[in-house]
Structure 1
Amino acid sequence: MRVRFAPSPTGYLHVGGARTALFNWLLARASGGEFLLRIEDTDRARSSDEHTRTIIDGLRWLGLDWDGAVTFQADGTQRHAADAATLASSGQAYPCFCTPGELQKRREEARRQGGGFAYDGRCRRLPQAEVRGRIDAGQKHALRMRAPGEPVSWHDAVHGQMSFPAGSLDDFIILRSDGTPVYNLAVVSDDSTSGVTHVIRGDDHLSNTPKQIIIYRALGRALPVFGHVPMILGPDGKRLSKRHGALSVTAYRDEGYLPRAMLNFLALLGWSPGDDRELMSRSQLTDSFRLERVLKKSAVFDLSKLEWLNGQCIATAGAPELEPLVLDRLRETNGPAAGAASQRRAALHRIIDLVKERPRTVHALAAQVAPFFAVPATYEAAAVKKFWTRSAEAAELLGSLRDRLASTRPWSPDELETTVRGLAAERGIGAGRVINPLRLALMGQGVSPEIFGVLVAFGPGRTDERIGAALRYLQDAGSGAGE
């Protein structure tokens, strides 16, 4: 089996393209076949090297490795022209002298009459002598493929038996008047030359398939297996776009998503493993993937599902895997924390393990890690208003707790809990009225992991340092803290 992913570098690698690449990759790896990467760059006006780089970067980030070198469709233009010449010499394609302006007028006339436009075949009926005379005179012409007067049918690996009636296909251009190949000719030439056995792509290509089958048969080449996977829609049932939160694959990477989460999310867009699994390893995906389980109906893009999957992947990932991602994010957002964390790798691992259960992106994870390594530059305003409303009372409470923590040993979760709850009991207040002001002093915000685990992670020295900084803040704030 040999499959391919053939993106056009006229845009970035989007969710739909990445899903197509993944399905092809899984199919190849499950069967022991080959996965080829071809960049379809014949549209020189819209193609760019930047888009090519981001497509390749996105595939590498997802771990979708390909076999052999990356090929470029533009490198095959001589072969495309040779295949077009073969079709012309056999009489299965013919010169068309209709200009774009003439064709546009006919389209407009068809619209005025309430019908659809189909090429009327007028150049097909030209006498050969006239054709030769026009060509010899240097008149520009395209090359059109003769549509057969019969249905074009195939068995689709996803949809089953498919058929386009004879009347639905008109003669179509395969070579433009400037000598450049049209998509359908170039694809058939490339796929047949590279030995592609299965063409798996989005069902927006369904209308291209009968034209490609016509070209395959005219060239006398074996048809591949065609399979068309369902479109991806937004929650509103419309075609997926940026307004639904859909970004390029590399943008998701930059937003703090993990490749494992993205792979599982993409796999479940239109495919089911046959059970209720939603988070699988790469090998489990490969072992489970079958084209027969690809759904015929459109898939729905659900950003909250991706966020949930990413949170699960973060929670189950080891600290060594998450460490470089967290450090990279801290370098972007909090230089002091990044510097301190990079010098205390063992502590960083412990803290990642402490806080990784709730964040749904690496960015959120890094934001929870940062307070452990850098004294907060400020305190969250909403938390100050809620937990340090009266600065003098808050300072007195934290000062008393600071003294008790200084003598708490061993520095363990149980002993620390006894100390904190003991102070609350003596004062006749709920434990939360001690814990929340303490959390704000330590973390600079009103939310954190379980507080006694936080205290253990800080250790007695850093705990004392953070409470001291909070007391100085409260002293300076004075009445500005709410009094």
Structure 2
Amino acid sequence: MTMIRTRFAPSPTGYLHIGGARTALYSWLHTRRHGGRFVLRIEDTDRERSTPEAVNAILEGMAWLGLDYDEGPFYQTERYDRYREHLQTLLDSGQAYYCYCTKDRLERLRTEQQARKEKPRYDGRCRDLDGPPSEDVADEPVIRFRTPLEGHVVVEDAIRGKVQFLNSELDDLVIARGDGSPTYNFTVVVDDLEMGVTDVIRGDDHLNNTPRQIHLYQALGVEPPRFAHVPMILGEDGKRLSKRHGSVSVLQYRDEGYLPEALLNYLVRLGWSHGDQEVFGVEELIQLFDINDVNHSASTFNPSKLQWLNQQHIMRAAPNHIARHLGPFLAERGVDPAEGPSLEAVVRTQQERAKTLVEMADNSLFFYRRPEAYEEKAARKNFKEGTAEILEHCQHLFAGLPSWDAESIHGVVTEAAEAFDVKMGKVAQPIRVAVSGGAVSPPIDATLELLGREESVARLSAAVEWVRENVG
């Protein structure tokens, strides 16, 4: 059996967007499941719009998602000699020809056809010429492919099934411009041919290119690859996903605190399912994913569902994995995670409640630096008359504990509630505000254990002083 070889071939005219990432994921999963090879090709022939920054954004996005490639990246701009050689092969065999029509003539032809309500198409004027015509001659002729005039092309698509195109509906495709540069449909075929690509998984906006490309494969003497055209992703307004829908760059989701595996999990579900299961690990996806099971209808991007999945992955992941991703977010906020409680221990206390790593980082800052001020609403609600005495009582008991652990800390809170004849919340909440600056934190016993005895006592002491100065 021939080894499966797939490719992801983005154009570096912008970032790696959500639709491209899903295409890359489907190709990657298909390859990994079958023990094949995954090739990365950068289609950078659009010199005006392709930028090194965009190339770097694509490579960075792939790396963050963990979509490792076995070969590449290959750059089309480094392969012009190969394209010229194959162009000459088609010219020599008579399967391609020079077209001398000017832009003006082609525009007039198009206008006339539209006036007759015909589909605009090249009329084959230069198809059988032995040389340039006597008039309306372009300074630089293009090269066109001689498309068969009769019959049809059948695309056996893994997602859409059998799709048939009549050759009579296809005109003679330009495969090289007047300056000699090859066009998209031609370079794709040459690249896939030379890179041994067996399976082409791409967006369904390329479906109409497929019959033309099949003709080119056959003219160059090779069997076309298998095709799978993935349906588009829509925004919640039913229109094609674009910048107006917000975060569509993969790296933007990284910066917003999403885990790569959560985004992969979400993307794979935009068109594929396995029963009613929602949450998948990457290794599980490799075992289960089948390109033939992808739905052929468009999917709708739902940011709320993505956030829910991210929360599920945060809750289920190993703390050391979360810690590796969380560290940079704390660093951005001026915190050195090495100077304070164990980052893994902090993660364990926060995993159950954070939807994103941004939220986890913001809610964990107090572990690494004392709050500069108390949240106004939290202080007003929890720092009352008599609170200073409760906090001071706890402070002294904490200082004298023989063992600093959650169980002993919980015992102090319980004893203080009994001593002042109040509910546990009337003790725990003021302590929470005192040490974190706000009304929300992990369980107070786990929070204080992580902060350590010395820091906890110091923060309680500062709170006692603040309450006595600010509460009547």
> For 2:236, what is the secondary structure of its paired residue?
coil
Shift of 1:425: 4.4
Q: Which one of 82, 85, 90 corresponds to residue 82 of structure 1? A: 85
Write the distance in 1 (CA, Å) between the matches of 2:66 and 2:324: 18
CA distance in 1 between partners of 2:452 and 2:422 (Å): 26
Instruction: Write out aligned runs for 1:251-400 (5 A).
Output: 251-272=252-273, 274-335=274-335, 338=336, 341-344=337-340, 347-388=342-383, 390=384, 392-400=385-393
CA contact (8 A) 1:245 1:303 kept: no
Q: Is 1:32 aligned with 2:31?
A: no
How far has the Cα of 1:35 moved from its partner?
A: 0.8
**Structure 1, residues 339-377: CA drift from partner, whole Å, max 9, x if none?**
xx30456x3322221122211222222222221121112
Further displaced range: 347-356 or 106-115: 106-115
Deviations 1:382-437 (A, max 9, x none): 3223323x4x5433442333334444555444443343244334544433232222
Looking at structure 1, the residues matched to 309 and 349 of structure 2 have their Cα atoms a distance apart, in angstroms, of 19
Give 4+ residue runs of structure 1 displaced > 6 Å after superposition.
none
Give the aligned partner of residue 21 of structure 1: 24
Residues in 1 aligned to 2:421 and 2:71: alpha-carbon distance in whole angstroms:
73
After superposition, the Cα gap between the structure-2 partners of 1:101 and 1:10, relative to the gap in structure 1 and judged at 3 Å, is farther
CA distance in 2, matches of 1:196, 1:76: 16
> Cα deviations across residues 62-87 of structure 1 (Å, max 9, x unaligned)?
22221233211112212212222222
Counterpart of 2:226, as a letter, is V
Aligned length: 468
Letter in 1 for 2:439: G
Q: Distance in 1 between matches of 2:417 and 2:365?
A: 29
The answer for the alignment partner of 1:128 in structure 2 is: 130
Quick one: structure 1 residues 129 and 334, their matched pair in 2 at CA, closer, same or farther if it must change by over 3 Å?
Answer: closer
**How far 1:252 moved relative to its partner?**
1.8
Q: What is the distance in 2 between the residues matched to 1:409 and 1:113?
A: 95
Give 1:95's aligned residue: 98
Correspondence for 2:455: 462
Paired amino acid for 1:205: H
- Other structure's SS at 2:101 match: coil
Q: Is the 8 A contact 1:255 1:363 kept in 2?
A: yes
CA contact (8 A) 2:413 2:427 kept: yes
| Residues in 1 aligned to 2:81 and 2:172: alpha-carbon distance in whole angstroms | 23
Q: TM-score, structure 2 length as denominator? A: 0.91
Distance 1:130 1:402 in 2: 97
Gaps of 5+ in 2: none
1:37 is paired with a residue of what secondary structure? strand
Cα gap change, 1:54/1:130 in structure 2, threshold over 3 Å: closer, same or farther? closer
1:285-342: per-residue Cα shift (whole Å, max 9, x none)? 111121121111112212222222222222222332233333322221033xx2xx30
Structure-1 separation of matches of 2:462 and 2:88: 81
- The alpha-carbon deviation at position 454 of structure 1 amounts to 1.4
Q: Does 1:436 align with 2:429?
A: yes
TM-score w.r.t. length of structure 1: 0.89
CA contact (8 A) 1:240 1:246 kept: no
Unaligned 5+ runs, structure 1: none
1:91 to partner: Cα distance: 2.7
Quote how far apart the aligned CAs of 1:108 are.
4.8
Alignment correspondent of 2:62: 59
Contact 2:100 2:132 in 1 (8 A): no
Q: Is the 8 A contact 1:334 1:370 kept in 2?
A: no
Partner SS state of residue 192, structure 1: helix
Q: Distance in 1 between matches of 2:131 and 2:50?
A: 40
CA separation in 2, counterparts of 1:292 and 1:380?
54
Aligned-residue RMSD, C-alpha: 2.5
Q: How many angstroms apart in 2 are the aligned matches of 1:422 and 1:130?
A: 101
- Which 10-residue stretch deviates more, 208-217 or 90-99? 90-99
Distance, in Å, in 1 between the alignment partners of 2:377 and 2:308 is 27
Q: Could you list the per-position Cα deviations for residues 214-263 of structure 1 after superposition, in whole angstroms to 9, with x for gaps in the alignment?
A: 11122222111111111111122211123333332222222222222122
Aligned-pair distance for 1:197? 0.9
Distance in 2, Cα, partners of 1:114 & 1:385: 74
- Report the secondary structure of 2:258's partner residue: coil
1: CA distance, partners of 2:457 / 2:94: 89
Give, in whole Å, the separation in 2 of the partners of 1:475 and 1:143.
87
Distance 1:442 1:108 in 2: 75
Distance change >3 Å, CA 378–CA 99, structure 1 → 2: farther
Q: Residues 430 and 100 (structure 1 numbering): CA distance in 2 closer, same or farther, change over 3 Å?
A: farther
Partners of 1:101 and 1:470 lie apart in 2 by: 81
* Matches of 2:178 and 2:339, distance apart in 1: 65
Tell whether the 8 Å contact from 2:100 to 2:138 is kept in structure 1 after alignment. no
Q: Contact 1:405 / 1:419 at 8 angstroms: preserved in 2? A: yes
Instruction: Check the 8 A contact 1:2/1:196 in 2, yes or no.
Output: yes
Q: Report the Cα distance in structure 2 between the residues aligned to 1:99 and 1:441, rounded to whole angstroms.
A: 79
Q: CA contact under 8 A between 1:198 and 1:224: conserved in structure 2?
A: yes
Matches within 5 A, 1:133-152: 139-148=139-148, 149-152=150-153
User: What CA distance in whole angstroms lies between the structure 2 residues aligned with 1:65 and 1:15?
Assistant: 17
CA deviation after TM superposition for structure 1 residue 110, in Å: 4.9
